[in-house]
Amino acid sequence: MNKKQEQDLKLGLSNEKNKKIILEKKFGELNKTENIFDNFDFYNEKFYIELKTRRINHNQYESLYFDMCKYNKGLEYIKKGYRVIFIWDCKNKMVCWELKENEKVSYCKYGGRVDRGKQEISNLCNIPTDHLVDYNTFVI
Which of 79, 72, 78, 21 has its CA nearest to residue 47?
A: 78
Architecture of domain 3-137: 3-Layer(aba) Sandwich (3.40)
Q: Is the pLDDT of residue 98 over 60?
A: yes
Q: Is the pLDDT of residue 101 over 80?
A: yes
Where are any strands of DSSP class E within 8-119?
Answer: 31-32, 42-43, 47-53, 63-67, 83-89, 94-99, 108-113
Q: What percent of the chain has pLDDT over 90?
A: 55
Measure the N-to-C terminal CA separation of the chain; round to a whole number of Å.
37
**Paired residues of 86 in beta bridges:** 50, 97
pLDDT digits (tens, 9 = 90+) for 81-92: 999 999 999 999
Domain boundaries, the chain: 3-137
pTM over 0.75? The answer is: yes
pLDDT digits (tens, 9 = 90+) for 27-38: 999 999 988 779
Residue 96, classed as helix, strand or coil, is strand
pLDDT digits (tens, 9 = 90+) for 15-72: 567 799 999 999 999 999 988 779 999 999 999 999 998 889 899 988 898 988 999 9
Report the pLDDT value the prediction gives residue 116, as an integer from 0 to 100. 46
